[in-house]
Amino acid sequence: MKSQALVHPKQGGWSRVEDDGYILHLDTPGDAALGFAASVMHGMDGYPRRLDPRWLYDGPGSDIYERITEQPEYYPMRTEDRLLAKNAGNIRDVVGDVAVVELGSGSSTKTRHILDAWTASGPTRYVPVDISSAAVGAACKQLAAAYPGLHIEGIASTYTRGVELVRDVGPRMVMFLGSTIGNLSPDETQGFLSMIADSLAPGDWFLLGVDLVKEVERLEAAYNDSAGYTAAFFHNLAARINSELGASIPTDAVRMVSYFNTDLSRVEMYLAFDRACELRVEPLKRTYRIAAGEMILAEISRKFHVEAVASNAARFDLSLEQRYVDEESPFAMLLFRRVASVPHPIPAEVRRLRQASTRLRELTTVLPGAAVDVDGCDFRALAASQERLLERIQSDPECWYDPPFQERPPPRPSRSPVGEMRYVPGGRSFMGADDGADFDGPRHPVELPAFCIGAAPVTNGEYLLFVLGGGYRDEALWSEEGLAALAAGLWVAPSHWVLRDGLWCARWFGRVVPLDPLRPVVMVSAWEAEAYARWVGKRLPSEAEWEKAAAWDAGIAMSRPWPWGDETAGPMTANLGLRVLEPTAVGSYPESRSFYGCHQMIGDVWEWTTSAADVYPGSGAPEKPGRILRGGSFATTTGVVSNTRREWADPSSRDRFSGFRLADCPAP
Ligand code: AVJ
């Protein structure tokens, strides 16, 4: 029997499997090992070091977790099961005949209570979403056998992609069970709740299982069972790192340490190392030293208060309608309803004033690419002319400029990735954008060999060594055109650098200030960038390499609009939009690194590439002169720059907010 599908992917990348009694939508599989490697790299590059708990749940890990749930000390699973058994009928009465979507469905065991209650009152639609295609596939098969009339449509993908796919399935109830939300940090929880709320239509439902705060003894016993399954669970992670990432952690040196952190209201589970060892992440060619006694956070399990969860959810238009609480081992099943967003009542005067000041400050935020016409002016062009104007002011020694408003720059970073390189394995990726300006598209596949790319732009401190080391006098470092420009302009350093009492300083918007060694070097030509690269035995990246390092998420085989993901930039994300009038120290936005671990690819300084400003195959845009620059600067309007934005300039120009990062061919 062919059933009618609920879900119809609009974009490509999805495939569909139909079997007896169910449909399965499979997302383009990414490179699982690379996704794992990048995640471990990110965790190990952070401070404090941590590992993402999702890697605990591979085949053997999921089996061990099943054992944990059977332990007498581990109450959450049994309690939730009890709550669902008791209240599924009531939940069904409250929400009515809605489709059921489950995030992180796994084996869908507890869901059976829900499905029993739903199928008891008529035909029902169930959409399990899980990243593991094996898990959803198996769950679909079993449920199809157990519930003959049930419409089952599984999705094997990330929560974000899955939630997007069911947008038109309505009305619906999205479930997130098992207190899995306790695995997320407060910041990740915000992102998760806003993603859920945004995907739901007013009137839709959200069912959330949350574990509640209780006596420390019970919590600590649940997360350190006497039979040792919790410990085995974390040993399995170490073993998985060894077998999948080519590491050789001595597993007998690893212990699991778990305790309840009262201040943060969460159980913390660590991999603790009894001896020093190395953790090698072979797919990305990184090695980390782990010290004797070091503890790496591998999972958190937050414990909640119902009222706090309810008010937090309310901020995302999720209103708590029903609560089902187990008093014996405090655990809650919370039923939220998505309510219509209430626009803030701002008086018209205030709104106009606010608009005016936003325009002054940043012209406005424009959606990436699109030339938005507001009040008859093209903001993309306006934003560009504003940046050109500032570049002219800065380039003119006679000009002085004091901005009318400035924000505090981000805090000085505790770790700056100066001189570090990141490895990008070879393979196919996509570049270009279809929705951007013509010159930035169309999106097309590229096949690149492996390369290395700078973890950050080259800094003043690094560039100073080149200046002091005679880089401007060593002709062998310069290309023919570069040499001509150097000779004609009598270049001895970047044009705005000045020597004061033997100290190299920078003339910055009319003031002379000492060079900050940690900030990216700026206002250098492509020739200077190339000479520097040759001096250190490296090269500049091509535009395709730059974009892959910024945008490509190999773990899910998708490009991200910005290095950090899908969210537009805010003040803590990137140095854009003239919030501060200068590039910031490298390492200033540690959470904004790309999949491959590159910092500050967007904002701070435009970055020279080796690529000429040719049009992409299939583009209708006219050719441009000069060389491609990528990434935008501190003076670029936030909305007009993304991973795909192509800017161009004469390679001789030293009057742009342009710097560069290095590239290299990987050592064999
Ligand atoms: C799967 C996140 C619900 O936090 O109770 C149990 C994970 N880790 N024991 C939990 C877990 C170790 C579990 N969740």
The region of weakest confidence among 201-210, 357-366, 519-528 is 357-366
- Predicted TM-score (pTM) of the model is 0.91
DSSP, res 131: S
Average of per-residue pLDDT across 475-479: 98
Pairing of strands 266-273, 295-302: antiparallel
What residue owns the CA closest to ligand 1's atom 1? 180
Measured over the CA atoms of residue 565, residue 436, residue 354 and residue 311, the dihedral's sign is negative
Q: How far is the centre of ligand 1, averaged over its atoms, from the C-alpha of 106 (Å)?
A: 13
The region of weakest confidence among 304-313, 387-396, 450-459 is 387-396
Q: How far is the centre of ligand 1, averaged over its atoms, from the C-alpha of 70 (Å)?
A: 13
Return the best residue to mutate from 214, 236, 301, 331 for the ligand 1 pocket (most ligand atoms within 8 A of CB): 301
Total residues belonging to the chain: 668
Give the tens place of pLDDT for each residue, 501-514: 999 999 999 999 99
Q: Strand pairing partners for 444?
A: 431
Residue 380 binned pLDDT confidence (cut-offs 50, 70, 90): confident
Q: Residue 367: is its pLDDT beyond 50?
A: no
pLDDT at 342: 76
Give the tens place of pLDDT for each residue, 175-192: 999 999 999 999 999 999
Q: Are 637 and 363 in contact (CB under 8 A)?
A: yes
Q: How far is the centre of ligand 1, averaged over its atoms, from the C-alpha of 481 (Å)?
A: 61
Q: Strand pairing partners for 279?
A: 288
From the CA of 69, give the closest atom in ligand 1: 6
Mean pLDDT of all residues in the chain?
A: 93
From the CA of 223, give the closest atom in ligand 1: 9
pLDDT at 131: 86
Q: How far is the centre of ligand 1, averaged over its atoms, from the C-alpha of 177 (Å)?
A: 11
Q: How far is the centre of ligand 1, averaged over its atoms, from the C-alpha of 208 (Å)?
A: 15
Indicate the helix (H) or strand (E) that contains 270: strand 266-273
Give the tens place of pLDDT for each residue, 536-560: 999 999 999 999 999 999 999 999 9
DSSP, res 227: T
Q: How far is the centre of ligand 1, averaged over its atoms, from the C-alpha of 283 (Å)?
A: 28
Contacts of 304 (CB under 8 A, 6+ apart): 182, 210, 211, 212, 213, 265, 332
Q: Residue 668: is its pLDDT beyond 70?
A: no
Residues above pLDDT 70, as percent of the chain: 94
Contacts of 22 (CB under 8 A, 6+ apart): 140, 141, 143, 144, 152, 153, 154
**In terms of Cα–Cα distance, which of 522, 525, 538, 534 is closest to 605?**
522
pLDDT at 353: 67
What residue owns the CA closest to ligand 1's atom 7? 301
Q: How far is the centre of ligand 1, averaged over its atoms, from the C-alpha of 161 (Å)?
A: 24
pLDDT at 360: 53
From the CA of 222, give the closest atom in ligand 1: 9
Give the tens place of pLDDT for each residue, 23-36: 999 998 889 999 99
Average of per-residue pLDDT across 244-253: 96
pLDDT at 376: 57
From the CA of 57, give the closest atom in ligand 1: 1
Give the tens place of pLDDT for each residue, 125-168: 999 999 888 889 999 999 999 999 899 999 999 999 999 999 99
Q: How far is the centre of ligand 1, averaged over its atoms, from the C-alpha of 237 (Å)?
A: 14
What residue owns the CA closest to ligand 1's atom 10? 301
Return the best residue to mutate from 51, 56, 64, 65 for the ligand 1 pocket (most ligand atoms within 8 A of CB): 65
Residue 357 binned pLDDT confidence (cut-offs 50, 70, 90): low
Q: How far is the centre of ligand 1, averaged over its atoms, from the C-alpha of 204 (Å)?
A: 28
Residue 370 binned pLDDT confidence (cut-offs 50, 70, 90): very low
Q: Strand pairing partners for 27?
A: 14
What residue owns the CA closest to ligand 1's atom 9? 223
**In terms of Cα–Cα distance, which of 575, 477, 488 is closest to 528?**
477
Indicate the helix (H) or strand (E) that contains 17: strand 14-19
Residue 354 binned pLDDT confidence (cut-offs 50, 70, 90): low
Q: Are 522 and 658 in contact (CB under 8 A)?
A: yes
Higher pLDDT, 447 or 4: 447
Q: Centre a 10 Å sphere on the Cβ of residue 509 and count the other Cβ atoms it contains.
A: 17
Average of per-residue pLDDT across 437-463: 95
Contacts of 343 (CB under 8 A, 6+ apart): none
pLDDT at 578: 87
Return the best residue to mutate from 299, 331, 333 for the ligand 1 pocket (most ligand atoms within 8 A of CB): 299
DSSP, res 516: -
pLDDT at 402: 83
Residue 415 binned pLDDT confidence (cut-offs 50, 70, 90): very high
Residue 381 binned pLDDT confidence (cut-offs 50, 70, 90): confident
Residues above pLDDT 90, as percent of the chain: 81
End-to-end CA distance of the chain: 55
Q: How far is the centre of ligand 1, averaged over its atoms, from the C-alpha of 301 (Å)?
A: 6
Pairing of strands 286-290, 627-630: unpaired
Pairing of strands 277-281, 295-302: unpaired
Ligand 1 contacts (CB < 6 A) are: 68, 76, 178-180, 182-183, 223, 230, 233, 299, 301
Whether omega for the bond prior to residue 410 falls within 30 degrees of 0, making it cis, is: no
Q: Are 576 and 601 in contact (CB under 8 A)?
A: no
Q: Residue 611: is its pLDDT beyond 80?
A: yes
